[in-house]
Structure 1
């Protein structure tokens, strides 16, 4: 007997072909990729010029670089030529009621930051930089050694320093005899100490003390003292 002939199994139907994308869709995708790539390359180039040492290109393109970088992409570090701080600053402040009828002790604003940063593996940006930059990058660059403003931004930077101090002092002032709502005047004391050189780390450095005279807290009524001429103790 002859063996039965097996019929071939029916093949699965071919999957439906996906319609090709229209040409305009591919064009839009290509333009988007090129635009994003150009934007990323431009940003990296501007960032590099911002952090590199001053050169002919960065000097010639200073205006477009500043417009792109500030304020959203500000860089606080430098490439190739780091400039670490060579001084330690201790910023203190005290406040008083009107005409110094009550004066608080000195509050060490810098120590408040140090206490927050100590043993903190992830210290915040405010604790590390806010007070330091308010003094070094803002106040010092807009005032001379006699605390006279040298820039149109001088009063703004002074008030910025006052605002930072008030945020930290107000919760503590009441127990020292000056209720927060009665604070009228503020005085700053900044102690600057050079960091000892590496070859003589134990060398004693002589600190320099700078006093910013008493001023009224409100930016709308700036004065250096009381109408009757009295001064704080």
Structure 2
């Protein structure tokens, strides 16, 4: 009696040759899941167990550091909240001075004023008379150096502006220092003025030759940015000045011995 295969519906008798079984499906060697014995290990798997642990710990530390930095940066630029009120000092210690961001998340505050920093010097000539130079507009000079420069330096862009911001933040409206950083901001700003005046040859311009820089005076010139033509906003463009007292300059500072 012939046998009946229910799956294929075919009958197999004694004289019916049996079909050979299909060969097993070939799996490419590179798609094999587990590591095959005898194959060389690559990547981290090629390291010893101790080294694998070291690599894993290093990656974990780097990942944690990146997450902490991103979190601190977010809290720094985010509006004031419960976390920043409770841990604001820790956030500032992490951010300043290397990672400072000069903008605020969700609340940009574009500048609406032009602020120029100007300086003049008191120079003692060979005859012992003290002469006063004219005002040097250092911000305008930096602006001219940046204009058309595809790669302006950070010094040209930020040094003078940040020094003035530092001074204003640590002094009251009467130019009196507030807190321990007031004297530091004065020294920093005065040092920049001495270096810039030396670069401008202010002493030689005032005395016609040899002379000694004795004192400097700094002022800011602030004027509102004019509104666009289509705006109905009315603002005054008359500049206002903030004039600081004269600062005496030591000879060590003039000679570059003070850092």
Q: Same fold (TM over 0.5)?
A: yes
Which residue of the partner structure matches residue 162 of structure 1?
Answer: 190
Question: Partner residue of 2:95?
Answer: 69
TM-score normalised to structure 2 length? 0.70
Alpha carbons 2:123, 2:211 under 8 Å: kept: no
Cα distance in 1, alignment partners of residues 211 and 182 from structure 2: 26
Contact 1:92/1:107 (8 A) holds in 2: yes
The structure showing larger relative contact order (alpha-carbon pairs under 8 Å, at least 6 residues apart) is 1
* 1:76-101 Cα distance to aligned partner (Å, 9 max, x none): 22222111112111111111125861
- Write the distance in 1 (CA, Å) between the matches of 2:246 and 2:87: 43
Q: Does 1:124 align with 2:153?
A: yes
Q: Which deviates more from structure 2 when the two are superposed, residues 124-133 or residues 17-26?
A: 17-26
Aligned ranges for residues 1-233 of structure 1 at < 5 Å?
Answer: 17-18=39-40, 21-98=47-124, 101-135=130-164, 137-171=165-199, 172-178=201-207, 182-198=212-228, 199-200=231-232, 204-218=236-250
Q: 1:103 to 1:117 in 2, by over 3 A?
A: same
Indicate how the Cα distance of structure 1 residues 63 and 188 shifts in structure 2: closer, same or farther if over 3 A, else same: closer
Encode CA deviations 1:88-146: one digit per residue, 9 max, x unaligned: 111111111258612222111111111111111222222122111211x2111222222
Q: Distance in 2 between matches of 1:140 and 1:76?
A: 16
Pair 100,49 (structure 1): closer, same or farther in 2 beyond 3 Å: farther
Output the CA distance in 2 between the equivalents of 1:201 and 1:100. Answer: 50
Cα RMSD after superposing both structures: 2.7
Rg (Cα) greater in structure? 2
- Count of aligned pairs: 206
Provide structure 2 residue ranges, at least 5 long, that are not aligned to the other structure: 1-36, 254-259
User: Does the 8 Å CA contact 2:219/2:244 hold for their aligned counterparts?
Assistant: yes
Give distance in 1, aligned partners of 2:167 and 2:198. Answer: 22
User: Cα distance, 1:204 vs. partner?
Assistant: 4.3
Q: Distance in 1 between matches of 2:217 and 2:136?
A: 10
Please report the TM-score for the alignment, with normalisation by the length of structure 1. Answer: 0.77
Q: Output the CA distance in 1 between the equivalents of 2:181 and 2:95.
A: 20
